[in-house]
Amino acid sequence: MSDLSALGVAVLLLLGNAFFVGAEFAVMSARHSRVEPLVAQGSRAARTALWAMEHVSLMLAACQLGITVCSLGLGAVAEPAVAHLLEGPFAAAGLPEAFVHPVAFAIALTLVVYLHVVVGEMVPKILALAGPERAALVLAPPLVVVARVVRPLIAVLNAVANGVLRLLRVTPKDEVSSTFTAEEVRSIVTESTREGLLDDGQGLLAGAIELGDRRAGDVMVAWDRLVTVSRPATPEDVERLVAKHGFSRFPVGPAAGTGDVVGYLHVKDLLYADDERYTEPVPDKRVRTLASVSPRDDVEDVLAVMQRSGSHLARVVGTTGETLGVVFLEDVLEELVGEVRDATQRRVPR
């Protein structure tokens, strides 16, 4: 092969290396949420890109194989050709014969490495990261073709690699994990806020992350801090409690001082009372049922119980059946969005 032919092959290998590097970063960085709408619009390139993103392990293996082949080929073809082209001018310039080849080799190696790193690695990586979805639409279709052609070879290489990992007592994984722990997401939110990328949403995001770690026992109002209605109670008694505390819902106990709750009353449940029934005990049918949860239940589970029962309260029950406290929907929401103040804001500390 002539030197010029070798240089032509080297250019193709350099471009091939750049293609595989760009495709690798594009497939890994592109977002499903931005590609899926294009699929819905009928884009074939987007459909292929989405398939590649869903088979990222195969795509990465194909990219790594392509990068390795192109890099080795570039070193084998380009360096000797460039060195041979430089030997003639160096010899004509009077460089001692003993130094002609070493100097030409060093310069050729430096030039090839420089082009490989800059043109074959850095430039395609930066371009892919600057527009991952656009790069995926362009690069994924040919990458998928290459991956399907070399898939048998990749399967053999994966089998050998997995065997080595098992000998080292490491469990192989076929797909790349893209999930984050709650602590990692919390760190991302904090850093994004510090950089000015998030503003008012930080508290809501942080609250949503922390909500999953909270238990019913963490957000309940303890029994000894509750303002309750003792049976029998009249609309007049409840009205006095509303005027004093500003609450709209009151847990109902069977008798004063007992650690149990049989239900709750909403202020609108007393609208039936006219002057005659204003001082009469509230009928049992007016008392709303109260769902029960364990103090160890997740707040998310408590919300699900409230939703099923249609109640804004839930009774927290201990292992022996005693009432430990009550979870109010408002308290759960405050864990998510912060302090909520309204006309019936409770002022009883937890």
Residue 100 one-letter amino acid:
V
For residue range 38-70, what is the model confidence (pLDDT) as tens digits?
999 989 999 999 999 988 888 999 999 999 999
Question: pLDDT-derived band of residue 348, with 50, 70 and 90 as boundaries?
Answer: very low
For residue range 83-101, what is the model confidence (pLDDT) as tens digits?
888 888 888 888 788 888 8
| pLDDT for 79 beyond 50 | yes
| pLDDT for 20 beyond 90 | yes
List alpha helices for 223-262, DSSP H. 235-245
For residue range 121-151, what is the model confidence (pLDDT) as tens digits?
999 999 999 999 999 999 999 999 999 999 9
CA distance 32 to 121: 25
CB atoms < 10 A from the CB of 116, how many? 21
CB burial of 240-271 (b: ≥16 within 10 Å; e: otherwise) equals ebeeeeebbbbbbbeeeeeebbbbbbbbebbe
pLDDT at 350: 45
For residue range 261-270, what is the model confidence (pLDDT) as tens digits?
778 888 777 7
Q: Say how many CA atoms lie within 13 Å of 105 toward its Cβ.
A: 6
Tell whether pTM > 0.85.
no
Instruction: State how far the alpha carbon of 278 is from the alpha carbons of 233, 251, 253, 274, in Å.
Output: 10, 20, 20, 6
Instruction: State how far the alpha carbon of 58 is from the alpha carbons of 21, 36, 53, 263, in Å.
Output: 15, 20, 10, 58
The two tokens of residue 220 are 């309940």
Residue 248 one-letter amino acid:
S
Q: In degrees rounded to 5, what are phi and psi of residue 292? A: -115, 140
What is the average per-residue pLDDT within 216-229?
Answer: 82
Q: Which residue in this structure is represented by tokens 């007049």?
A: 236
Pick the CATH number of 216-337 from 3.10.580.10, 3.40.50.1370, 1.10.3470.10, 3.40.50.300: 3.10.580.10
CA distance 121 to 81: 22
Neighbour order of strands in the sheet with 249-253: 229-230, 249-253, 263-266
CA distance 195 to 198: 8
Cβ proximity of 43 and 96 under 8 Å: no
DSSP 313-347: EEEEE-TTS-EEEEEEHHHHHHHHH-----TT---
Domain residue ranges in the chain = 3-167, 182-211, 216-337
Of residues 309, 174, 63, the one with CA closest to residue 327: 309
CA distance 28 to 26: 5
List alpha helices for 30-131, DSSP H. 32-40, 44-54, 56-92, 97-117, 123-130
Three-point CA angle 248, 251, 256, nearest 5°: 125
- 201-205, 227-231, 272-276: which has the minimum mean pLDDT? 201-205
